[in-house]
Amino acid sequence: MNRPASASPAAHDRPASGLFAPGPLVLIGMIVIAALTRLLPHPPNFSPVEAVALFGGAYFASRALAIAVPLVAMLVSDLVLGLTLGGTYFEHFTSPAYLATWLSVYACIAISAVLGFGLRGRVNGARVLGYSIVGSVLFFVVTNFAVWATATPMTAHPACLVGLGPCYVAALPFFQWTVLGTLFYAALLFGGFALLRRRVPALRAQTV
């Protein structure tokens, strides 16, 4: 005898999955919105770059999406900034003189998304704080090394032409804004999503 059709769950009873499920769509929306806040006036280096990467790494069930979505979101925001601010901004990711620095930023995003894997299923305030600081330090070390390694009189702070140490020292005033920006956006993203998951149980099943 054939098994009754009612013995297996109906398609409409199964939780949605894949890119277009509510969970991934909410994550994508939050990351894109956070990335586009770079269009708003803000202190230098006060940005969502590290926070969106950690957030994606922590919650996307697909590790490929966890890396790809923050990268694409930041690229979109860069393109919008380029269209808004004109050719001068576009030079930061089209000119060979700035290319290494631009690529170092995107390398940090990818690395931080992988770093966010350590938060999967283990998100709490203390861990988000710790990972945010580690991500900020990573960004500071990697991007300023790229600035120093490609320094020329036309593209670099004068200190970076002297040596790596002075280059890092000259960047310290910006580091505080990197940390504050990462903590601010991490609080918004992780805190906001935690509230959403409490109100919408389906988000728990579709995210880590």
Number of CB atoms found within 10 A of residue 13's CB = 7
25: nearest Cα among 186, 198, 199, 196: 196
66: nearest Cα among 54, 51, 49: 54
Local confidence band at 12 (pLDDT 50, 70, 90 cut-offs): very low
Give tens-digit pLDDT for 56-105: 999 999 999 999 999 999 999 998 988 887 766 777 767 776 788 889 99
DSSP string, 49-73: HHHHHHHHHHH-SSHHHHHHHHHHH
> Which residue reads 């919105």 in tokens?
33
121: nearest Cα among 32, 184, 204: 204
Give tens-digit pLDDT for 97-149: 678 888 999 999 999 999 999 999 999 999 999 999 999 999 999 999 998 98
pLDDT at residue 97, rounded to an integer:
67
DSSP letter (8 states) at residue 12: G
